Amino acid sequence: MPTIHQVAERAGVSSTTVSHVINNTRFVSPETRERVLRAMEELNYRPNILARSLRRGETRTLGLILPDSANPFFAEIARALEFAAFRAGYNVIFGNSENDLEKEQVYIDVLVTKQVDGLIFVATGDRSQSLENLVRGGLPVVVVDRQLSALEVDTVLTDNLQGGLLATRYLLSRGHRRIGCITGPSHLTPSAQRVIGYRQALQEAGVAVDEDLIVRGDFHPRSGYEAGKVLLEQRPLPTAIFACNDMMAIGALRALAEAGLRVPEDCSIVGYDDIELATYAVPPLTTIRQDKIAIAEAALRMALERINQSDLPARCETLPVELVERQSVRRIA
């Protein structure tokens, strides 16, 4: 295995200069950098990343655990986070917990073993003993999207109550009064808060909440399809549906189509998340935008700040949401 000294000798520089080229720890002229990189290539030299990590006590690697990599909302967050982290000189190791607490624990253990410098994490449940131990043990952790009630930890949320209010007020302003709601998993705070916003908007407008128009989903498209069929059994029919994420809204679109109902002519629909797919649904979905790039950049910023200053007080940042009007809602009065 060639050594750093052999690279230095071949490039005609000191070993220190080779180290600066590898670690980007000091300016090296382009000519010298080129000589060093060429020598490394010719000798097939590979820096000992583990040795560097142990020496510095850092791996410049972040762990990311998400609950459902098949959901574009999380995929778009992962993409934005990896892009921002790479620009900041960090790699990202990603784990998919599949909303399973045991699998989530496996990934927490794996990422700790790999000595990530920080962990960014969308929780499967409301608490995680091992996560509490990690936070108390000093690992920089940022919780995203779902708040952990019993833990003082850096957190990035969005204003889910406001999102439910915006979606429902918008439908009310278009004359809708029989508004169905397809919820996400009720134990997850984002969905629970959106439904509270839905109820609050109806109450503000003096519209009685019909519990038969609130149907449970699980954030996956199939549950939106099934819930859509349940809503279409209600009489009088709802004239609009608020789905607590875009994937369920897309599932509901299929239920409406199978029932021979046109959107928005026969039934309007509003989603939530504003995933890229919402733009290409037929018709393009009116939805509530969660800014996934802003979420990822806020989580990264918090993680890097804590890596560099471990005694910061825990912070919680709640990002705003906005209504994105497209073509899936019709005014009926």
Does position 73 bind ligand RIB by CB under 6 A? yes
Residues 171, 242, 272, 329: which binds ligand RIB (CB under 6 A)? 272
What is the C-alpha separation between 332 and 186, in angstroms, rounded?
A: 31
- Residue closer to ligand RIB by CB (options 188, 281) is 188
Q: Would you say 59 or 160 has its CB closer to ligand RIB?
A: 160
Q: Which is nearer to ligand RIB, 190 or 264 (CB)?
A: 190
Q: What 3-state class would DSSP assign to 270?
A: strand
d(CA 322, CA 169): 12
Q: Which residues contact 295 (CB under 8 A, 6 or more apart)?
A: 77, 80, 144, 145, 156, 158, 319
Helix (H) or strand (E) holding 112: helix 101-113
Contact 150, 127 (CB under 8 A): yes
Kindly state the smallest distance separating residue 32's Cβ from ligand RIB, in Å: 49
Comparing CB distances to ligand RIB, the nearer of 20 and 220 is: 220
Q: Using CB under 6 A, count the residues that bind ligand RIB.
A: 10
Q: With H, G, I as helix, E, B as strand and everything else as coil, classify residue 58.
A: coil
Residue with tokens 């279409």: 232
Cβ neighbors of 58 (< 8 A, separation 6 or more) are 117, 307
Q: Which of residues 216-235 bind ligand RIB (CB under 6 A)?
A: 219
Closest Cα to residue 311, out of 140, 187, 110, 87? 140
121 counts as binding ligand RIB under rule CB under 6 A: no
Closest by CA to 240, choosing from 269, 204, 262, is 269
Peptide bond just before 185 cis, omega within 30 deg: no
Q: Which of 21, 141, 171, 188 binds ligand RIB (CB under 6 A)?
A: 188
Residue 164 CB, shortest distance to ligand RIB, in Å, is: 11
Site for ligand RIB in 127-146 (CB under 6 A): 145
Binding pattern for the stretch 16-55 against ligand RIB, x by CB under 6 A and - elsewhere: ----------------------------------------
Sequence letter at residue 173: S
Rounded least distance, CB 291 to ligand RIB, Å: 12
CB of 160 to ligand RIB, least distance (A): 7
User: Shortest Cβ distance from residue 231 to ligand RIB (Å)?
Assistant: 19
Q: Is 65 helix (H, G, I), strand (E, B) or coil?
A: strand
Is residue 245 within the footprint of ligand RIB (CB under 6 A)? yes
- The correct pick among 63, 118, 164, 190 for binding ligand RIB (CB under 6 A) is 190
Give the footprint of ligand RIB on this chain (CB under 6 A): 71, 73, 145, 188, 190, 219, 245, 247, 272-273
